[in-house]
Amino acid sequence: MAELRVPKLNNNDTEYLVVEWLAPDGAEVGEEDPVVVVETSKAAEELPAGASGALRHVVGAGAWCRPDEVIATIGAPAEAVVPREHTHEGAEPLVTAPAQALIDELGLTPEQVRGLGVAVVRRADVERLATAHPPAGIELSRGQRAVARTVALSHRTVPAAYLAVRMDLGPALDYARARTKEIRRPVGLAEIFVQAVAGLHARFPLFFATPGDTHATMSDKPDIGVTLDLGNGLYVPVIHDAAARTLKEIAATLMRHRLAATSGEFKEADLTGANFVVTLHTEGGVVLAIPLVFPGTACALAVTSPGDGTPADIGLAYDHRLINGRDAALFMSALKESVEELR
């Protein structure tokens, strides 16, 4: 007869809870079959039978057991034993780690959880509760959920700072109109700033680096992501190796990205690899925007439309681990000079 003993699952735990038996008492089980769920202080673990034969419960669901304690036997049907009952009377329902994670995610109250009426709350119980009591409000789209995850990750991992510089965009807008006629491609602030930012890569390589815990990975070329939201969700397609591209090539690529944004039909390569992001806020009279720094990049530039006249406040959000305020000011001063000198 084989014995199913509880392994040491967590070095800090002295006992575990038998949440439930996955195979009933007396069932024929295989060696690899999961037969019981055990709760540690961190997670719920499924334990395999470890031998083939008839499973006999030594303890019941809800029992507490110590590491190396026998909780079942596997052998012939005649080797039956009577399960030992261990219960936590009068206690709050015990919630498994996966169940608690889902409770926190859904914002369920303790009263709702107690209303389940079970001694041990598993994830399946919480899913049943959520189905019976759906949260009020609207369901976020897949794109909105992706944006929410990116925003949360950025706020959690990137110590960002912000600096804005007022620029006279009059010369740049005149230049854009002239170049639009010349190259027969639409040229606007997006194209102007992508080219201007890319032109600063050699002087400010750290602004295009990928931050790590102990080091930064430098990039040998500027890959500029540009935010596009045309009503079907936010996308950040990339102008790869933007410094090596002409303004006409940048305009053509951005037009292709805008068309893809209307349908969401991007190629994977279009949306990956950005090491600097230009965020566009050129509609609705926006005069100031503070973008988030996308995880994996060091900077995000906010481009706004000129307000009354041609001045506009162009801002840079930057990862303060890599870039200090003085360097950010030097970068923005160089960008201002580059844009205002366009003729």
Give the number of C-alpha atoms closer than 13 A to the C-alpha of residue 67, restricted to the C-beta side. Answer: 9
Q: What pLDDT is attached to residue 221?
A: 96
Which of the 8 DSSP states describes residue 181?
H
Rounded to a whole number of angstroms, the distance between the first and last alpha carbons of the chain is 89
Say how far apart CA 343 and CA 341 lie, in whole Å. 6
Contact 182, 227 (CB under 8 A): no
Structure tokens at 247: 């303004």
Q: What pLDDT is attached to residue 97?
A: 67
Closest CA to 254 of 232, 231, 284, 278: 278
Q: What pLDDT is attached to residue 135?
A: 62
Say how far apart CA 233 and CA 228 lie, in whole Å. 8
Say how far apart CA 67 and CA 253 lie, in whole Å. 62
Contact 54, 77 (CB under 8 A): yes
Burial 38-62 (b: 16+ CB within 10 A, else e): bbbeeebbebebbbebbbbbbbbbb
Amino acid at 228: L
Closest CA to 314 of 342, 296, 339: 339
**Phi, then psi, of 334 in degrees rounded to 5:** -65, -40
For residue 37, give the 3-state DSSP assignment: strand
Contact 336, 193 (CB under 8 A): no
Closest CA to 293 of 149, 145, 162, 143: 162
**pLDDT, mean of each 10-residue run, the chain (343 residues):** 85 78 87 84 79 89 85 71 48 72 79 80 79 69 75 89 94 92 92 97 96 90 92 85 96 92 81 94 85 94 85 95 95 96 86
The helix or strand, by DSSP H or E, that contains position 64, with its residue range, turns out to be strand 64-65
For residue 188, give the 3-state DSSP assignment: coil
CA 230 to each of CA 175, 188, 280, 283: distance values in angstroms, whole numbers, following the listed order? 25, 16, 12, 11
Instruction: With both helix axes pointing from N to C terminus, report the angle between 247-263 and 170-183 in degrees, rounded to the nearest 10.
Output: 90
Closest CA to 56 of 84, 14, 32: 84
Amino acid at 61: A
